Structure 1
């Protein structure tokens, strides 16, 4: 992964602003476990990682906000504890002295209905949407996508978005267990039930935001729980229609960086249009005493992710 060249510090430049980042806390008050691939998961310790993140963010006066990249509680959280667990994690996030911007992940939707999550996470929702944008400075706009807009989780089984998702899974995934990629090849392995897609209405909204940002000469940072570039993530972690979303993004020159979570090992790539894709390492997979969070310093011509411990630091210099 790219690391700091020392250029910024050597030049003594101050960032325009900074923001905190963390992903995949997946807290649950249960004993440690493992992923389906056998990777250890530390369900209680992840909350301590979040506490240390908030403490560090509060010690940094330039942080204007922080972004949580989804999956704040784990799917194995006992359902009778789901709301309490979500409230506990949200309360810890709110110990941060500046705004927190949340997005919904698949594990969030395993625990609570979408409407409850929007309320508990205080998302700036309109008509039940969980995608939105905000501008922390005149020069930058942040776009938060809902990667589970079209999804087989989080909607009632007869909801049009759920029906569309199930049809896609039936067409693309030959397995009875739609969370299994067995027999699927290459990028087709993304068509799993724990992923999702950006729907038509959200895509139209995104086009409008990017068009407006281009006219306003704003640089855009896209945030989505699900990764948007195969170079930065495993095929099994990608947004179903990442290619359609990126085709829209590539029409405009305003998007500079796409951040995401979901693929717990993390990743980094620069795509064919010079857009940086940074998948953040998961707080959940930090053994006791280790961490995975960071903060991003924002400059006119680059972003610099300063990672803590298991989160790699990454310098992202814009190509234009």
Structure 2
């Protein structure tokens, strides 16, 4: 994806932090002798391509070949840390892989191009510029849902297992049950949707036509759009009603089962956590649902906004973090994070350009009347 196209400067306000600020909602003491209840690896926007280094449309340097090396280094670190799981927030392979020779690459055959894609996928999920949803389901075992419209959509939940419970050194006495909830923010989109038969592509066309006067001739340009309306560009997407209903039901079930939830998506959901050009088209609908389950949801992590960003939602207390991209870290910098989940906080151990931080989760202690 190219979320930096036509980007304005990242905003800073009392309720929003840029990627170069620390979290004022952190707990003061991030050291503990108690093992975390869960630990997971986190990385995003590798966007590997077998081409020379280049730049985004706004001039940000991109290190295509180094990204694969950085991802492999992250994978090794995750293994050493014995994390419970690894979360990749999307954009594994850059869209330029579709025509590497045009961008200065030296791939001679289609098979070799595919081989590069297979290599990076084998290291670590959502790459619609290069692979269809059918292919992703086959390679990554993603449990896509086939909706009544005939469209595949990739939303699902996973109860994270504590793999270290029998390991005395790393085990935790915490009774916390932690669920990962993965959203498909390209549910409604132009990418990998049949122009003739896809209901969701037709909806995406209607949304862009109604909200962006540059569409379809300059479909990725927010030129002339103001504020959060800049999100209506073709490299973004939205979430359709069946997935929204599934989200409500999943969160309700988590509440009933006394589980805590971390939400993962490629596109950011909170308007103060990122540039407006990167937001989910109907972020407001999604945010309303999440706020209704603030006793359940610890945090929401996303990629897509390469320089990162953070806000703690004032209404709910939920933490919204856009994670810094691997792609735009110059060699030898390797950007990713390891996240420790404790009963009372999240500890973000950032590597490379990913900022470390500590987020208290006191908002989840308040029982809501439902």
TM-score over 0.5 for the alignment?
yes
Matching residue of 2:142: 123
Q: Which residue of 132, 145, 148 corresponds with 2:156?
A: 132
3-state secondary structure, aligned to 1:283:
coil
Matching residue of 1:263: 305
Matching residue of 1:75: 95
- Output aligned runs, 1:245-284, within 5 Å: 245-252=286-293, 253-272=295-314, 273-284=316-327
**Residue deviations 1:235-276 (CA, integer Å, cap 9, x gap):** 000010111001111112211200000000001110121110
Matching residue of 1:46: 67
CA contact (8 A) 2:329 2:352 kept: no
Does 2:129 align with 1:110?
yes
Matching residue of 1:296: 339
Shift of 1:6: 6.3
In 2, the alpha carbon distance for the partners of 1:78 and 1:92 equals 20
CA contact (8 A) 1:83 1:112 kept: no
Shift of 1:304: 1.1
Moved more, 16-25 or 136-145: 136-145
- Output aligned runs, 1:128-207, within 5 Å: 128-137=152-161, 139-158=177-196, 159-175=198-214, 176-207=217-248
Q: Which residue of 26, 35, 39 corresponds with 1:14?
A: 35
Q: Which has the higher strand share?
A: 1
Does 2:96 align with 1:58?
no
Equivalences, count? 306
Q: Which has the larger radius of gyration?
A: 2
CA contact (8 A) 1:2 1:313 kept: no
Q: Gaps (5+ residues) in structure 2? A: 1-21, 100-109, 147-151, 162-175, 364-370
Shift of 1:7: 2.1
Q: Which residue of 80, 86, 93 corresponds with 2:117?
A: 86
CA contact (8 A) 2:30 2:358 kept: no
Shift of 1:314: 1.8
**Residue deviations 1:88-143 (CA, integer Å, cap 9, x gap):** 112223xxxxxxxx3x2xxx111122211222222133434311110115611110
In 2, the alpha carbon distance for the partners of 1:168 and 1:82 equals 34
CA contact (8 A) 2:27 2:359 kept: no
In 1, the alpha carbon distance for the partners of 2:205 and 2:273 equals 26
In 2, the alpha carbon distance for the partners of 1:233 and 1:200 equals 24
CA RMSD of aligned residues (A): 1.5
3-state secondary structure, aligned to 2:180:
strand
TM-score w.r.t. length of structure 1: 0.92
CA contact (8 A) 1:219 1:256 kept: yes
In 2, the alpha carbon distance for the partners of 1:319 and 1:191 equals 35
